[in-house]
Chains A and B, each alone.
Chain A
Amino acid sequence: YLALIGNALIVFGPIVSIFNFYLCNIPQLVIVFVAAAFFYLLSTCLTSAFYFIPGIVNLPYLLVSIGVSIQEIFRFALFLAYLFTERGYERNLKVKLLYGKFAWLHASVAAGLGFATCHALLLNGNVLSQSYGPGTLYLPNCPTITYFTHHSIMTLLFVLLNISWMIIGFQGYIKKSVLRIISLLVLHFAASLITVLNNKKDSCLYVLPTLASLVVIGAIISTVELIIICNKDE
């Protein structure tokens, strides 16, 4: 029980906290959250179609690249859906979906959390359910922590990454900033491709620290975006 609870808290603790203390205060964000989760599900379904191409399983870098590309396309599609909805509200109902100069920031955090939650549920849900019961599993590439804890930590890092990627993405799409979009793609490709090395010997020593560094970079860029928004005149 304890291992299951601990691993679940590692992954879902931040998600539940952000949802409960931030999203729930602005009801519109909960709907954005649900929509984002659905878009992530769509992207995963489409990516899984490529999985069945004969031989592609032996080309993990290609499969991961395809997955990242599809996910980025759906991130942009989510942004367009949000923009379309917001403009529909303004045109037909003469109201905005969200108010204030942080409206886009709120929406991007909610969308990022939606992506992150669906990612965590799909990728970690199965693994978590297997962690319950007697016994555990260690892998040679990371013999100091259990497979389930390693998987949970990696999922946690991707949860945080997804939130920062969505902030960067939304700001990039709104401002049509090539620099932001390129940095988003670089971060996402780097994070996902580094996980392919997880089955190598002693991968624990460089994969998790690299992911943590990318989380810090993503957080710094997101903070810079927040500062830019704060300094912007309304």
Chain B
Amino acid sequence: MSNQEEERLLNGGDSQINSDLQDNAIKEEDSDSEAVETINYDPTLDSDNDESEEGITTRYSENIISLLKPVSIAMIIVIWAVHTLSPILNSSGVPVSSAVMVYTESESDSGWLKLGGALLNALIVVAMVCVITVILVLLFVYNCYKIIYGWLITSSAVLLFTMGWLWLEFTLRAYSLTIDYFSYFFLLYNFTILGVVSIFWQAPTIFTQAYLIVVSCMTGWWLTRLPEWTTWAILAAVAIYDVIAVLTPKGPLKLLVETAEKRKVPIPGLIYESKKFKLGLGDFVFYSVLVGRASMFDSVTMFACFVCILTGLCLTLFCLGIFKKALPALPISIALGLIFYFVTRFGVTPYITNNSIQQINV
């Protein structure tokens, strides 16, 4: 294969897109974090000298798996957190409400009211994400890097500290472990500082990647506390927004990418880099939210959504190799996840339950 053909195969695009993810689910203080919701392929990271035909397909497959692994780990962690930490949080009496939700679901509400309220909540969340993305684009265009990084570092530190506090406390309670206050805060402080240093300065790659996964898991777990209908509506709305923001000519994320390309600088944001692919943290968060919410109903829906998200991600990565430009990573996975959640919930679960009772295997 000629070098040109290899470059064509490997060059999946060199643009990245940021979008903002604002975590306002329940807490009184706002905790903003930046996240990229697209996927990008960076051929400059290719240092493999194996130019055989077999090496090319193996390398591309390795690159795909290098994204499947962290996504799977993040989803598994959120599933664990939903089943271990959420019951403790729920029993502590913290109300499930949000400063941005205009509608709070109630058991006695009709289906139409829940649907309308959920769509309204989703619209508000997407509008907020859009506004923050536009602000980020403006800051980037006008070279306000100090404001951008100050914003990112502050929000990440606050997230790591507050969520780390909750996670550590609830984990100790869940497994009946004890620790003294001094060690508790010593661990928490070091966890937070190490996280900020790993993500924004320098650290072994494994630390950076681990902390990015932890940040996405914490945010994803928190968002699973949103009411059910609102969660599904937000997932659908954000997936649609991702398509518009990344692919339309005047989309904020597309503008961000083009500006970064022109200046040949990396896009500021929380981006998971693995070999040649870069995936935004927002994708990790919403994948985890979908699977976490599915796991609250049943293990069948959870596994179905898990498979769908991995399949959607593989399809997106294949499309990346074909279209060779930055693509939104959410739509295919979220669409498959949502469809198969409802299909398995209302169709497959009764069938499988019947087979389990009858001990029938097909």
Enumerate chain B interface residues (CB-CB to A < 8 A): 1, 5, 9, 53-54, 56-58, 61-62, 64-65, 68, 298-300, 302-304, 307-308, 310-311, 314, 340, 343-344, 347-348, 350-356, 358-362
B56 contact set on A, CB distance < 8 A: 93, 95
User: What is the bound-complex CA distance between A74 and B77, given in angstroms?
Assistant: 32
Cβ of A177 under 8 Å from chain B: no
Q: A30-B61, A71-B362, A89-B57 are in contact. Are A126 and B344 (CB under 8 A)?
A: no
Please tell me if the beta carbons of A57 and B354 are within 8 angstroms of each other in the complex.
yes
A34 contact set on B, CB distance < 8 A: 68, 307, 310-311, 314
Minimal beta-carbon separation of B68 from chain A (angstroms): 7
Closest-by-CB residue of B relative to A71 is B362
Q: A30-B65, A45-B343 are in contact. Are A95 and B53 (CB under 8 A)?
A: yes
A-B Cβ contacts below 8 A, count: 133
Q: 24 A-B Cβ contacts within 8 A?
A: A28-B61, A30-B65, A30-B68, A31-B61, A34-B68, A34-B311, A38-B308, A41-B308, A47-B362, A52-B347, A60-B358, A60-B360, A68-B362, A94-B53, A95-B9, A95-B54, A122-B304, A125-B300, A125-B302, A126-B298, A126-B353, A150-B359, A198-B358, A199-B358
Q: A125-B302, A141-B359, A191-B361 are in contact. List 4 more A-B contacts (CB 8 A).
A: A48-B351, A67-B362, A89-B57, A123-B356
User: What is the bound-complex CA distance between A200 and B358, given in angstroms?
Assistant: 10
Query: A65-95 interface mask toward B, CB cutoff 8 Å, 1 = contact, 0 = none?
Result: 0011001000000000000000001000111
Closest-by-CB residue of B relative to A147 is B359
Within 8 A of B (CB), among A104-159: 118-119, 121-123, 125-129, 139, 141, 150-151, 154-155, 158
Q: A45-B347, A94-B5 are in contact. Are A196 and B360 (CB under 8 A)?
A: yes
User: What is the bound-complex CA distance between A57 and B361, given in angstroms?
Assistant: 14
Please tell me if the beta carbons of A44 and B348 are within 8 angstroms of each other in the complex.
yes
B5, B298, B300, B351 pick with most chain A CB within 10 angstroms: B351
User: What is the bound-complex CA distance between A121 and B303, given in angstroms?
Assistant: 7
Please tell me if the beta carbons of B58 and A28 are within 8 angstroms of each other in the complex.
yes
Cβ of A54 under 8 Å from chain B: no
Q: A41-B304, A48-B348 are in contact. Are A126 and B299 (CB under 8 A)?
A: yes
User: What is the bound-complex CA distance between A67 and B68, given in angstroms?
Assistant: 30
B61 contact set on A, CB distance < 8 A: 27-28, 30-31
A48, A125, A129 pick with most chain B CB within 10 angstroms: A48
Q: A41-B308, A96-B53 are in contact. Are A122 and B362 (CB under 8 A)?
A: no
Cβ of A37 under 8 Å from chain B: yes
User: What is the bound-complex CA distance between A141 and B358, given in angstroms?
Assistant: 11
A150 contact set on B, CB distance < 8 A: 359
Q: Which of A35, A48, A96 lies in contact with B57, CB distance below 8 A?
A: A96
Minimal beta-carbon separation of A188 from chain B (angstroms): 9
Please tell me if the beta carbons of A35 and B54 are within 8 angstroms of each other in the complex.
no
Please tell me if the beta carbons of A123 and B352 are within 8 angstroms of each other in the complex.
yes
Within 8 A of B (CB), among A10-65: 26-28, 30-31, 34-35, 37-38, 41, 44-45, 47-49, 51-52, 57, 60, 64
Query: A168-201 interface mask toward B, CB cutoff 8 Å, 1 = contact, 0 = none?
Result: 0000000000000000000000011001101100
User: What is the bound-complex CA distance between A37 and B307, given in angstroms?
Assistant: 7
Closest-by-CB residue of B relative to A93 is B9
Cβ of A219 under 8 Å from chain B: no
A37, A38, A151, A199 pick with most chain B CB within 10 angstroms: A38
Please tell me if the beta carbons of B361 and A195 are within 8 angstroms of each other in the complex.
yes
A196 contact set on B, CB distance < 8 A: 358, 360
Closest-by-CB residue of B relative to A191 is B361
Please tell me if the beta carbons of B360 and A27 are within 8 angstroms of each other in the complex.
no
Cβ of A216 under 8 Å from chain B: no
Closest-by-CB residue of B relative to A67 is B362
Enumerate the 6 nearest inter-chain pairs by beta-carbon distance, A residue then B residue, closest first: A27-B61, A67-B362, A48-B351, A198-B359, A121-B303, A51-B351
User: What is the bound-complex CA distance between A196 and B361, given in angstroms?
Assistant: 8
B58 contact set on A, CB distance < 8 A: 26-28
B353 contact set on A, CB distance < 8 A: 126
B61, B298, B314, B340 pick with most chain A CB within 10 angstroms: B61
A127 contact set on B, CB distance < 8 A: 356
